[in-house]
């Protein structure tokens, strides 16, 4: 997640809990609906991806190349049409599974694979990349009306550069984006009271979301969804299909505020690249530094040992189900 100067607002969440992922490793999967997609998320594969990716991955380093190669290999082996999208200073890895419908839209599931220099970035954002690949595994063998794109973005930490380049091209090409999800730090939680911080002014602009967090005694035990009005149907899909073990707090940004400096903290990932092209964009996040003091390896190192893999797998399951819902939506 790219760091900007905090203004009025931001997103919500808090500290770590180290439970293991659930013992649920499905066999070969041919999901064709949201319920099946949820069961097709492989917890062991998620853990393996996370541990492989949790190494320093700033652009040009060996870890960065490892992450790029891993995205390409997984998506290729799953049968996606994979593109190395070079845009001058970096490379996005973009896999596409073409739908069978006659009037197809595109559902994008994505995460950035770079990290800040010298930081293993387990939560930021190996957790998100592992989630995106988990969704790809769950949905790859299904039959869907619409197109599925799974993308690993480059240079998010340098200013959303990779996603901006791809989205600008998509806009020029007239791509009909139904929904676009950015998995941005999805594995850190703390269920102790007062472990979730909120930015000054959040209660005034988003009183309903604030009230939900307040009712939870400011526990950092939920996942946050930050979307625009175009993402309303995807927000509803998350609410419908999220596991009961996964609390969800949703924040819908009014169209009038999408480009406002007052919400710059709510634009701190690749979903904002879609907003800037008037496309739907949704960030799924554990709220970064408002919960995790290892953000950008600040107070301590951002390592796998501090993360809650069961929480992250639940987020991945909810994402797979919501994506499946939109992939066959009329």
Residue 20 forms part of a structural domain: no
Does 308 map to a domain? yes
* pLDDT at residue 21, rounded to an integer: 46
The pLDDT value given to residue 28: 62
pLDDT of residue 1: 63
What are the angstrom distances between the C-alpha of 82 and each of 120, 153, 154, 163?
26, 13, 15, 16
Residue 17 located in a structural domain: no
* Sign of the C-alpha dihedral computed for residues 281, 286, 291 and 294 taken in this order: negative
User: Does residue 29 lie within any of the structural domains?
Assistant: no
Residue 49, domain extent: 34-327
- What is residue 220's three-state secondary structure? strand
Which regions in the chain score pLDDT beneath 70? Answer: 1-28
Q: Provide the b/e sequence for 243-256 (b: ≥16 CB within 10 Å).
A: eeebbbbbbbbeee
Q: Is residue 6 in a domain? A: no
Per the structure, the count of domains in the chain is 1
Place of tokens 């499946």: 324
Q: Does residue 130 fall inside a structural domain?
A: yes
d(CA 309, CA 137): 17
Specify if 18 maps to a domain.
Answer: no
State the angle between helix axes of 127-139 and 309-327 in degrees (0 to 180), rounded to the nearest 10.
40
pLDDT the model gives residue 4: 44
Asked, as a colleague might, if the bond just before 223 is cis with ω within 30 of 0, I would say: no
**CATH number of the domain that 175 lies in?**
3.40.630.10
Question: Strand pairing partners for 150?
Answer: 95, 109
Share of the chain above pLDDT 70, in %: 92
pLDDT of residue 30: 86
**Within a domain: 200:** yes
How much is the pLDDT for 233?
Answer: 96
Which pTM value belongs to this model?
0.92
The token pair at 41 is 């998320």
Summarised one tens digit per residue, pLDDT across range 272-309 is 999 999 999 999 999 999 999 999 999 999 999 999 99
């Amino acid at each position: 997640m790219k760091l900007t100067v905090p203004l009025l607002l931001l997103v919500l969440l808090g500290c770590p809990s180290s439970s293991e992922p659930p013992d649920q490793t499905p066999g070969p999967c041919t999901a064709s609906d949201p319920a099946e997609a949820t069961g097709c998320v492989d917890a062991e594969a998620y853990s393996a991806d996370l541990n492989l990716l949790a190494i320093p991955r700033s652009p040009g380093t060996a870890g960065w190349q490892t992450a790029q190669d891993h995205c390409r290999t997984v998506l290729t082996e799953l049968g996606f049409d994979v593109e190395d999208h070079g845009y001058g200073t970096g490379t996005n890895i973009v896999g596409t599974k073409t739908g069978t419908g006659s009037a197809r839209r595109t559902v994008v599931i994505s995460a950035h694979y770079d990290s800040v220099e010298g930081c293993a970035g387990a939560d930021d954002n190996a957790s998100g990349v592992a989630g995106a690949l988990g969704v790809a595994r769950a949905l790859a063998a299904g039959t869907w009306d619409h197109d599925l794109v799974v993308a690993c973005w480059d240079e998010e930490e340098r200013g959303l550069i990779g996603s901006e380049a791809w989205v600008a091209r998509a806009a020029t090409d007239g791509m009909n984006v139904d929904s676009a999800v950015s998995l941005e730090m999805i594995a850190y939680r703390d269920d102790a009271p007062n472990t979730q911080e909120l930015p000054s002014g959040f209660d005034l602009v988003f009183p309903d979301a604030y009230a939900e967090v307040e009712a939870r005694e400011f526990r950092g035990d939920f996942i946050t969804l930050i979307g625009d009005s175009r993402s309303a149907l995807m927000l509803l899909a998350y609410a419908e299909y999220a596991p009961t073990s996964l609390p969800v707090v949703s924040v819908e940004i009014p169209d009038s505020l999408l480009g406002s400096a007052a919400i710059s903290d709510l634009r701190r990932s690749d979903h904002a690249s879609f907003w800037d092209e008037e496309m739907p964009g949704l960030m799924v996040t554990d709220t970064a530094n408002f919960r995790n003091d290892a953000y950008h390896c600040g107070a301590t190192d951002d390592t796998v040992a501090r993360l809650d893999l069961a929480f992250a797998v639940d987020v991945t399951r909810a994402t797979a189900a919501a994506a499946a819902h939109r992939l066959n939506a009329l």
